[in-house]
Amino acid sequence: MKQKRQITNRTFLLTAVIGSLIIVTIVTASTLWNAKKTGAATDEAVSAVSSFYLLTMAESHAKTVTNLIDNSFDEMRIAIAYIEDEDVDSQNDLREAIGKVESLLGMNQFALVDEDNVVYTRYTTYTGGSRHVFLEEESISDRIVSIVSLYGSSKQLCLAVPTPDLFIMGKRFKACFVQIDFNDIVNLLALDVQDRTHFALYSKNGSNLSGTQLGPVISNSNFLEAIHGIVSEDVWKENYENFEKGSEGSLSFGTGDAHQTLCYVPIEGTEWEMAVLIRESIIQDQIRDISIRNLNTSRRQVIYTFLSVLALAGVLLFQVGKLSKEKLEEEKETSRNFRNMANTDSMTGVRNKHAYSEQEKYINSQIEAGEIDKLAVVVGDINGLKYVNDNFGHVAGDQLIKDASALICGQFSHGAVFRVGGDEFTIILQGDGFDAMQESIDGLNRIVEDNIKENAVVISIGYSVLTAQDRCLNDVFERADRMMYERKKELKALGTPSGR
């Protein structure tokens, strides 16, 4: 029988050393291979994340400009309605009315244009044909978005709408317009506080409208001219056609050791493009720094390296999501301001019927969920508005509405006051307003009864409180409405003139 070879300490040690070297070599090679693959994957992620980040930001910027334009047109319609209700008999009256409109709506450089192309502003009048190309047309049929370059100042965004039915001071006015300084638009969009992300607004032919720099290469030059020398002819033609057709697009190019990516999207209702650019090395450097730290601590564990890359992707997506959320909050705040304008009654300054409908939906959801207990509705109706309009004119009628609104707001200072019709008001009482309800109602009724003797404003009110049987706000409203009509009979018995 062949004698078995003894395993000596030296053999065991040699085997352990060789085995250890093999394991270390395999793990090191595997780690280095993963590091290489991770680097390649990181570069791809940088490109993808950069494009996603830029497209999201470009769309957000474009939507902000679109909202600004649309809301400016809405403000002009409100302004025209306001001026039509004013007594304008002279240029001084018109300037005063324009000044009120600008103050109430926060508008800048609002102007009216008569059929002779004379422009009326808050401070002066001038012939506008030489300044505004759209005035060369005899008539205007639709809203106009144009650019005005004034001597000694920056570019102005000019928004105009026709006013075919507007007659003031015996003249027909054919249009109104507002001018918005592009610097104001830039300030609205500005978020590049760390000089990492750049944005610019371009016209159809590639000219820079905003005056902002799209990175160090394109700068504030014409976009199409600037990229002509840094991309291939096919890529240049593709971007040229995108600008010509008003389509979105993206572009990547290298300058020295820096790689830059940009995206642009069209702005609805205009022939403009919103472009945003970032230097990829900004993201790339951050990712690689984190990757190196992870790889240095995980060279013996390939699985751990893989998990670290997944963690990195999560951090990056979190950062992008957090930034997107912050920008969304900024847009929500801007939109909230515009919604406040849409929910306000222009005559009295209280909330309008649209605002009441939104509040009604919200309260109904609370009632359905059982989340509300203290709530009351007060319904008010002005006595004699038709009589005043027929005998003294709508100016006197409007003043009666304003006086009634002031009386209601003064008595129900802790309530939500809505003008829901010509002479109808609704007050929703919760919290402190609910607790002070009876005191407020008694106070208003005393004033109204005194006003009957003085032939002053008279308001009939009824009220009702939410009960367990109510399924929606309208149930409370209807009871209050019935009480209001009973109150009308009482006021008539107290001596309210038939005309009031």
Positions of the chain with pLDDT lower than 50, given as ranges: 1-2, 4, 192-194, 305, 313, 316-317, 320, 498-499
348 within domain boundaries: no
Predicted local distance difference test score (pLDDT) of residue 498 = 47
Contact between 54 and 278 (Cβ < 8 Å): yes
332 and 211 in one domain? yes
201 and 171 in one domain? no
9 within domain boundaries: no
327 and 199 in one domain? yes
Q: Which domain holds residue 159?
A: 86-182
290 and 201 in one domain? yes
Cα(376)–Cα(437) distance, rounded to whole angstroms? 8
- Residue that finishes a domain, picked among 182, 214, 233: 182
372 and 318 in one domain? no
157 and 109 in one domain? yes
Cα(186)–Cα(216) distance, rounded to whole angstroms? 18
197 and 171 in one domain? no
Predicted local distance difference test score (pLDDT) of residue 305 = 47
99 and 152 in one domain? yes
- Residue that finishes a domain, picked among 301, 336, 371: 336
Contact between 265 and 248 (Cβ < 8 Å): yes
394 and 312 in one domain? no
**Token duo for residue 229:** 């020398």
327 within domain boundaries: yes
The torsion of the CA quartet 290, 296, 298, 299, rounded to 10 degrees, works out to 140
Specify the CATH number for the domain of residue 65: 3.30.450
Specify the CATH number for the domain of residue 127: 3.30.450.20
243 within domain boundaries: yes
Sign of the Cα torsion 124, 348, 168, 127 reads positive
470 within domain boundaries: yes
Specify the CATH number for the domain of residue 372: 3.30.70.270
Cα(17)–Cα(323) distance, rounded to whole angstroms? 52
Predicted local distance difference test score (pLDDT) of residue 34 = 62
178 and 197 in one domain? no
How many domains does one find in the chain?
A: 3
415 within domain boundaries: yes
240 and 117 in one domain? no
- Residue that finishes a domain, picked among 311, 336, 361: 336
203 and 60 in one domain? yes
Q: In this structure, are strands 171-181 and 416-419 parallel, antiparallel, or unpaired?
A: unpaired
